[in-house]
């Protein structure tokens, strides 16, 4: 592949907005991603689970599959996400977008949140550190959700990132998911509810009566 892959679940009619899902990965890997990827598969489950609620609000749900599995310094994964944002605009025009990222996907999200279409970031079990920017969140909303039993990424680092973002972002909040781990298998319904609620709230859209 020369471009990332997109799985698109568009709402009937003209899209009011788009939730762009960004999946997890590894710190370093040049391995190509295919349909057997566990991280991509988990994000596909998330996408499918929130699509009906999003469609009720006129919101499409798109999932990016990166060209490679690794963060690898971030430049290429950010390019994958920016390509997807350009594709949203080419398809739907300048509709608002919320970036919904799991683990490394949340890291990708905060690196590209300065895109003019982006209204905010929702990070699930995010992989954030002191090296990740908060300037990209200026005027945007940030929502994080993290479990205390996560052994892959750090609840404490997420809390520190949210605090750093508060003076810059329009709003920044952290949902404590309690005794839940990283992969969002246990408590999957809670994760999906937080994802859908937060994404639609960031977009400021609601289901039609």
Which structural domains are found in the chain, ordered by start?
5-203 (3.40.50.1820)
- Residues with Cβ within 8 Å of residue 47, at least 6 apart in sequence: 7, 9, 21, 61, 62, 63
50 and 61 Cβ atoms separated by less than 8 Å: yes
Cα radius of gyration rounded to whole Å, the chain: 15
What torsion do the CA atoms of 121, 125, 130, 133 make, to the nearest 10 degrees? -20
Query: pTM to 2 decimals?
Result: 0.97
pLDDT per residue as tens digits for the range 97-128 = 999 999 999 999 999 999 999 999 999 999 99
pLDDT per residue rounded down to tens, the chain (209 residues): 567 999 999 999 989 999 999 999 999 999 999 888 999 999 999 999 999 999 999 999 999 999 999 999 999 999 999 999 999 999 999 999 999 999 999 999 999 999 999 999 999 999 999 999 999 999 999 999 999 999 999 999 999 999 999 999 999 999 999 999 999 999 999 999 999 999 999 999 976 54
How does the average pLDDT of the chain come out, rounded?
A: 96
The burial of 77, by beta-carbon neighbours within 10 Å (0-12 exposed, 13-18 middle, 19 or more buried), is given as: buried
Pairing outcome for strands 5-9 and 118-124: unpaired
Distance between CA atoms of residues 186 and 180, nearest Å: 7
Query: CB-hemisphere CA count at 13 Å for 6?
Result: 20
């Amino acid at each position: 592949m020369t471009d990332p892959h997109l799985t698109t679940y568009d709402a009937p009619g003209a899209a009011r907005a788009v939730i762009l899902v960004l999946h997890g990965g590894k710190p370093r890997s040049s391995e190509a991603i295919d349909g057997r990827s566990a991280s991509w598969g988990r994000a596909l489950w998330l996408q499918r689970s929130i699509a009906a609620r999003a469609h009720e609000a006129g919101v499409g749900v798109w999932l990016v599959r990166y060209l490679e599995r690794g963060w690898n310094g971030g430049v290429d994964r950010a390019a994958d996400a920016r390509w997807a944002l350009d594709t949203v605009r080419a398809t739907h025009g300048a509709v608002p977008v919320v970036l919904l990222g799991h683990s490394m996907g949340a890291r990708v999200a905060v690196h590209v949140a300065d895109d003019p279409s982006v209204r905010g970031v929702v990070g699930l079990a995010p992989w954030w550190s002191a090296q990740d920017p908060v300037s990209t969140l200026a005027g945007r909303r940030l929502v994080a959700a993290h479990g205390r039993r996560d052994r892959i990424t750090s609840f404490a680092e997420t809390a520190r990132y949210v605090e750093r973002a508060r003076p810059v972002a329009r709003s920044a909040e952290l949902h404590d998911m309690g005794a839940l781990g990283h992969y969002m298998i246990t408590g999957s319904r809670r994760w999906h509810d937080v994802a859908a609620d937060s994404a639609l709230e960031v977009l400021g859209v609601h289901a039609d009566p």
